[in-house]
Structure 1
């Protein structure tokens, strides 16, 4: 294919916007988008990593890529990101993957900086981008929203209380908006992985509890992304990855919440 033909092909393709695309599940989901033939907008905090991955996607899948760094703990940057992404483009897929968390007792640290950042990224920015995307897609023939929630969204999480609460919010929001948006051919999927081989725990400065490895073996980011993308394409509203994770997601229906909460707290203890 000539360079001219490729350029024309790029201009006629729809776009996927992927947040938290610097590494881990977000990086893998950006790859899934390119594999599926979408041009890709990669966003995250690490511009250097985004640029490297964007170049790799261009070369491997002959798609157009754009890098838009953003710190989504600032709600103004979430709005600015959407405005920059949608300028002259049809966004057909939004992947809300950016997320923060902290494995630590709720009262252990002074101040609210980390909790505030977690809520702003996991709740506020995700909601802003989802709201913009659903409206945009509804006026442009439809599309998909893939919200990367978590197994944590199914149960309270002592020692990771704010993170679990934010993921419960995102899971609930996804299910509700899926009902509303379907009439406009906008389909919402909540991807709920368990422990995944990413830099998430390293980023919050803690070590993963050893018991998690025994009960819920970590999945690769690539495996989680592939399953999530497939579920999105099939218009599934919830995708829990892994057999054991599926079992754990059902525990709140099968056991008293007090028991489930205590059990989850044991899994998340930092010291054994």
Structure 2
């Protein structure tokens, strides 16, 4: 197992689950997020299980704070998981454009910057693994969130083709709706997301499947057969059909 893994968005949800599972596989984890209390609680949980976790409290949209994460990556890690992200509740025509710009910056530019910071040492060692958490929304037309995640998917596919022959794999992870606090942060209590029960996935299963796909060198991981089928179907249908269907739920 790789020795050191840095996980962004580790305060909760999928990011926290990546930290747990990577630690259980023997990695020392670096937890990056804004919620210091949540990060330290997770670090204590990992420590109680015999693992090691360091906490790096960071707002990744603050260049000065982000530079500390970039410096840690430049010092060398074996696994990078870019998982920090959030959604916007308002329709595009109603949203604040500066909110949209920050949203795009976190999902696209920050992912690019942290990947770039990690690559040199990985390439020098001829080993490394990068997982960029995108979304199945990045594989279908689904607003600015889907557009940002589509950038992550395209970037990851390109980077994997270029760097996998040099020992560094890059995987875009594309889950569907996952039981986390993501929707609560949008102000949507459980049961009010407008999503049928069969479409929900559990974070531990998503993370396990994506780590397995990354180990197999897959550039894109869709950690559920039901979503693989939905994506395949969407490619056969016109956008005027796909867009309304994909817009269900938040």
Question: Normalising by the residue count of structure 1, what TM-score does the alignment of the two structures yield?
Answer: 0.85
- C-alpha displacement of 1:72: 1.4
* Structure 2 contact 60–106 (Cα < 8 Å) conserved: yes
Q: Deviations over 1:40-77 (max 9, x none)?
A: 000011111111111211221x3332100111123443
Q: Which residue of 218, 230, 234 maps to 1:248?
A: 230
- C-alpha displacement of 1:215: 5.2
Aligned structure 1 segments of 4 or more residues deviating by more than 3 angstroms: 84-87, 206-211
| Corresponding position: 1:167 with 2:167 | no
- C-alpha displacement of 1:189: 1.0
| Corresponding position: 1:81 with 2:66 | no
* Structure 1 contact 32–229 (Cα < 8 Å) conserved: no
Q: Aligned Cα RMSD in Å?
A: 1.8
Structure 2 unaligned blocks of 5 or more: none
C-alpha separation in 1, matches of 2:170 and 2:13: 21
Cα 1:84–1:143, aligned 2, differ >3 Å: closer, same or farther?
closer
Q: Deviations over 1:163-187 (max 9, x none)?
A: 1110000011000100000121000
| Bigger Rg, which one | 1
Aligned residues: 248
Cα 1:184–1:244, aligned 2, differ >3 Å: closer, same or farther?
same
C-alpha separation in 2, matches of 1:168 and 1:187: 18
- C-alpha displacement of 1:145: 0.3
C-alpha separation in 1, matches of 2:223 and 2:72: 32
C-alpha separation in 2, matches of 1:199 and 1:68: 21
Cα 1:256–1:70, aligned 2, differ >3 Å: closer, same or farther?
same
Q: Which residue of 186, 189, 210 maps to 1:204?
A: 186
- C-alpha displacement of 1:79: 3.0
